[in-house]
Chains A and B, each alone.
Chain A
Amino acid sequence: MYDNMTTYMLSDSPESGSGSNHQIGGGGNSSSNANSLIGSPRSTPVFGNGHALKTNGGLMMNGSSSGVKDMAGHQMWNNVGHSQQQQQQVIQVPSQQQHHRNNVVNVDDREENQSLRSDHSNSMGGGLSSSNRIQSSSSRSSRHHQHGRPLASTQSNKSSSSGHHRSHRRAGHRDHPISSSPMQTSAVLNGDRANNGQHQEVIEVQILPQDDGWGDNATALTGNTSVASGSMDDVSRLGGGDGGRGVGDGGPNDPAWSSNAMGQFQSHSNLGWNFKCQRYLGSITAAVLAVLAVMTPVAMVLLPRMQIVPLRSEQLRCPAECEGLLITLTVKLVLLILGSWAVFWRPTRATMPRIFFLRTLVLLLVFVTTFAYCLFYGVRVVEQQDQLDYKAIVTFALSLVDALLFVHYAAVLLLEIRQMPPRYYLHVIRSPDGISRGYPIGAISIQRAAVWLLDKYYTEFPIYNPFLERLPPRRSRSKLAHSSSFKFYDLDAQNNHGSLNPANARGVLSTTSSSTTARRNNSSHNERFYEEHEYERRPAVPMDPYEAAQAIFPSMARPLQKYLRITRQQPRHTVESILQHLAICLSHDLSARAFVEKFLAASPVMQNDKEKCPIQTWSLVCDVLLSRGIEDGTVFQLRQGDVSLLCRISNLPHFNITEEIIEPKSNKFVLRLSSETSV
């Protein structure tokens, strides 16, 4: 036996002299733990020994015997299967031969003393569920040496869950119990550096409090938790909830407007029957109608031939003229089908709540035309069977096809062309992060404008990052920390504040151990409480948005005006306009960033309220006659007051796309490990 080897036991009761396992008390007991540890000399000797924590027969942790390793390796204490249990570690340390190693490590450990512990306590949360970490620093056993200071530094933790134990080495502090929260006790054993010549073992066996809250931080966030912007749930509810309201049928072969463009969430549970019905109703109706319309002239022509309409054979004669008409009929039908397919045959992009007026109009026209023609056909054929001749029927069918072609033309104009020339300027702000864009837009209905805008949104807006919303508070806190001290180990603070100062302990445990940070954290916590209290004290008068804006405005007027002055935007924004803007933002529950966007985003020009007058005069300057077409090299200038816009036209290059075939077989790679070249 080595003479300086002692059995170390960490326990919460003074009578823990035996080597058996004891439960270490949980949070409530931890302070008593410290007391008992400090109070009982027997249990305080702590042994520092580098990596070499030797366990003999007497050493055990509850249920962790599987994890106990030999001296040579790292100590990993597995708490498998013991959740919610505290562990006691009994460690036996031969220190003699570890002497030098201890010293070396002691030096290191001392420097990283606090941070090591605190880092571990924080970083443990990163992925491990840390169970008991028992840390203690030890010096020579007081039994054998006079100079050993019997201060045990332990930090007991609350209940543990399964995970790793870590044993850290840490040189003890002199005589100072480390301040601790109620959750933890810490006592410092002095690893006596002055006694370099003597052997000191420093075992770090540290019980650190379990920070159970960390797990919550690490979990994934659910979708969009901001109140201000709509979440996917809202959108899906929107899509499904109004099923059945819209009829909207499209053009001859419908397409564009009845499927849902709002994303894959639509396919989820709450959109069952109703939504599918609505989504496909439009296209199916349109398709059916289109097919009917196309088949009608064909039927008109074929029915007499098939003797469904009884006609005499001489009536069915078809001379050259009639044949010509038949050919024309065929060609026009083909053109009609081709045109419909080209323009209207596409998957529906959106399901809209209200009827798509123009599309309905077109379909109605188609229906009415076809119906009228059928009606007349029926009447004529039934009534005047004897006087009919085939040529008349063919002419009739041909006129139907002509009519349909014109309806198709009107459909193209109404549905596609009418909205193309821009007439309005659409400005869109995204709420939580205040990103905005502007687009020119033509004359379309509100719901179609919404769909059009969503197309642009999905292809042009930057990604919304909800995590960016959360960073600022942390950043400011860490900025505080960094500004005050960068890795500042506040040993003095511990000296000053003695033991059980909760604020300090928190400071110790946080990533930087500046006590000022801890104090700041503390006070900020209180501040918020008082602020909330104040708000509650105010009389709750319901105000309309403008009044609310007026109430809020003074509190932010100063910084806002400062900013505007610095960026020289002051003339652009009058107080009245700011209030109006604020009122709108409030009434639509936008975030602060969205409100501020108006002052941050300098573009586009239309955003400037002063530019929104009905008539803007610009003068056009050009060398060439203005009514000529633009060509490569055309230069013209637009002037308005101080502002002038110089425009240059250049050709887009002609693209020569060539085909290049890369044989997959020849696309092989050889890994050359040593690059030698023969010359």
Chain B
Amino acid sequence: MSTFFHQAGTAMECLSIPITLHKESVLDHEGREVHRCGFKIGGGIDQDFRKSPQNYSDNGIYVTEVQESSPAAKAGLRVNDKILQCNGYDLTMCTHKKAVDYIKKYPVLNMLVARKGVTHS
């Protein structure tokens, strides 16, 4: 369970699910082309996890919503997954904004995800 009670900065060893997400190109409301993943994240070391409505237990980056028929759903991402790594960037010890930046950086995301009940018992 230390995966989900992780103290940012400490070493952790756990199983994880690798997820490859290919973003889709859409036009946003202003007409510009953006790469869309289709999920929402919350958390970060600058956030207070105790105030999270989903009752997260540490300062990691969590998936708070996955939209239907989105690339995220197709890739197998689920709600309340904790993203450990994204394209080699460590998301267990980064701020919310940084996590967003990393995720938005590349059109293909190779993520390592921890899921309660799956990656550990």
Q: Is the CB of A676 within 8 A of B47?
A: no
A678 on the B face (CB < 8 A): yes
Q: Which residues of A contact B100 (CB under 8 A)?
A: 677, 679
> How many of chain A's residues touch chain B, expressed as a range?
under 10
Contact A675 B40, beta carbon cutoff 8 Å: no
Tell me whether B84 is interfacial, beta carbon within 8 Å: no
Judge whether A227 is part of the interface by a CB distance below 8 angstroms. no
Contact check, B39 vs A674: say whether CB atoms are below 8 A apart. Answer: no
Closest to A677 in B: B100
Please indicate the chain B residues that have their CB under 8 angstroms from the CB of A677 in the complex.
Answer: 40-42, 96, 100
- Kindly state the separation between the CA atoms of A676 and B44 in the bound complex, as whole angstroms: 10
CB distance from A555 to the nearest CB of B (A): 62
Residues in B with CB closer than 8 Å to A678 are 39-41, 65
A674 to B40, CA, bound (A): 12
Instruction: Judge whether A673 is part of the interface by a CB distance below 8 angstroms.
Output: yes
* A679 lies within 8 A of B42 (CB): no
Within 8 A of B (CB), among A634-679: 673-679
- The complex places the Cα of A576 from the Cα of B35 at a distance, in Å, of 87
Question: Whole-angstrom distance between the alpha carbons of A679 and B61 in the complex?
Answer: 13
A678 and B64 CA atoms in complex are apart in Å by 9
**Interface check B57, CB cutoff 8 A:** no
- In the complex, chain B residues 64-100 whose Cβ is within 8 Å of any chain A Cβ: 64-65, 96, 100
- Chain B proximity of A382: nearest CB distance (Å): 88
Beta-carbon contact of B42 and A675 below 8 Å: yes
Q: What total of A-B pairs shows CB separation below 8 Å?
A: 34
How many residues does chain B have at the interface if contact means C-beta atoms less than 8 Å apart? Answer: 18
Give complex CA distance A673, B36 in Å: 24
Shortest Cβ distance from residue A227 to the other chain B in the assembled complex, whole angstroms: 56
The reply on B104 being an interface residue by CB < 8 A is yes
Contacts of B54 in A (CB 8 A): 674
Q: Which residue of A lies closest to B39 (CB)?
A: A679
- In the complex, residue of chain A having the shortest beta-carbon distance to the beta carbon of B62: A676
Cα separation A677 to B37 with both chains bound (whole Å): 12
Is A675's CB under 8 angstroms from B39's CB?
no
Interface of A is mostly: loop
- Compute how far the CA of A676 lies from the CA of B56 in the bound complex, rounded to whole angstroms: 13
Query: Is B29 among interface residues, defined by CB-CB distance under 8 A?
Result: no
Answer whether residue B52 sits at the interface, using C-beta atoms and an 8 A cutoff: yes
Docked Cα-Cα span, A676 to B63, in Å, equals 9
Q: How far is the CA of A674 from the CA of B49 in the complex (A)?
A: 9
| In the assembled complex, B53 has its CB within 8 A of some CB on chain A | yes
Complex CA gap A676/B41 in Å reads 5
CA distance A540 to B54 in the complex (A): 85
Interface residue? B32 (CB, 8 A) = no
CB of A202 to closest CB in B, whole Å? 39
Q: Report yes or no: A679 in contact with B40, Cβ–Cβ below 8 A.
A: yes
CA separation between A283 and B49, bound complex, in Å? Answer: 69
Distance in angstroms between the alpha carbons of A9 and B36 in the assembled complex: 79
Q: Are A679 and B52 in contact (CB under 8 A)?
A: no
- List the B side residues contacting A673 at CB < 8 Å: 51, 53
Flag whether B113 is at the interface (Cβ < 8 A).
no
**Complex partner residue of B37 from A674, A675, A676, A679, CB under 8 angstroms:** A679
User: Cβ of B36: which chain A residues have Cβ within 8 Å of it?
Assistant: 679
In the complex, what residue of chain B is closest to A674 when comparing beta carbons?
Answer: B53
From B40, B51, B103, B104, contact of A676 by CB (8 A): B40
How far in angstroms is the closest Cβ of chain A from B79? 11
Q: Specify the chain A residue showing the minimal Cβ separation from B48.
A: A675
User: CA A676 – CA B47 in complex, angstroms?
Assistant: 10
* A152 and B47 alpha carbons, distance in the complex (Å): 56
The 4 tightest CB contacts between A and B, nearest first, are: A676-B42, A678-B40, A676-B40, A679-B103
Beyond the given A674-B42, A674-B53, A679-B103, could you list 14 further A-B residue pairs with CB under 8 A, ordered by the A residue number?
A674-B54, A675-B42, A675-B96, A676-B64, A676-B65, A677-B40, A677-B42, A678-B39, A678-B40, A678-B41, A679-B39, A679-B41, A679-B100, A679-B104
- 28 residue pairs from A and B, CB less than 8 Å apart: A673-B51, A673-B53, A674-B51, A674-B52, A674-B54, A674-B64, A675-B42, A675-B44, A675-B47, A675-B96, A676-B40, A676-B42, A676-B64, A676-B65, A677-B41, A677-B42, A677-B96, A678-B39, A678-B40, A678-B41, A678-B65, A679-B36, A679-B37, A679-B39, A679-B40, A679-B41, A679-B103, A679-B104
